[in-house]
Amino acid sequence: MPVRMPACHPDSYRDAFESRLPRFLGTNNNKEKLIASLFFMPFMNHFVYIIYAEKFDKYYKGYTTNPENRLKQHNNKESRYTAYFTPWILMYLQKFDTKKDALIREKALKKFSKKSLINLIKSPKNILNN
């Protein structure tokens, strides 16, 4: 399926876009990867997480599609807000089917008291407890 994309060196406005196959469709292996990624994309998992900085007794709540990578980002000081409080420990993880549901839950968690967060971390909703 041709895709409209910017031309490398357009001669005029009319030539500013060209139709061509994306580069990654060159081999059968890449075609299979593309088909697989399109098939599984609707099933992407969305997570709400709580991390804890023991040294500072501080909790942080967030959203991600890759909890392992996101925790590394926090601990590598790649997140401005959490950079000062390292190291972080993943304490709570809840999975959602849609980004919308996860973001609604994250917004609700940001209003929780510390006592409520501790109770939530101990609850069955935390997939780290299963």
CA dist 102 and 111 (Å) reads: 15
Domain ranges of the chain: 3-42, 46-129
CATH architecture of 46-129: 3-Layer(aba) Sandwich (3.40)
Q: In this predicted model, what pLDDT tens digit does every residue of 35-75 receive, in sequence order?
A: 455 455 556 899 999 999 999 999 999 999 999 999 999 99
Percent of the chain with pLDDT over 90: 65
Q: What is the pTM of this model?
A: 0.68
CA dist 76 and 69 (Å) reads: 10
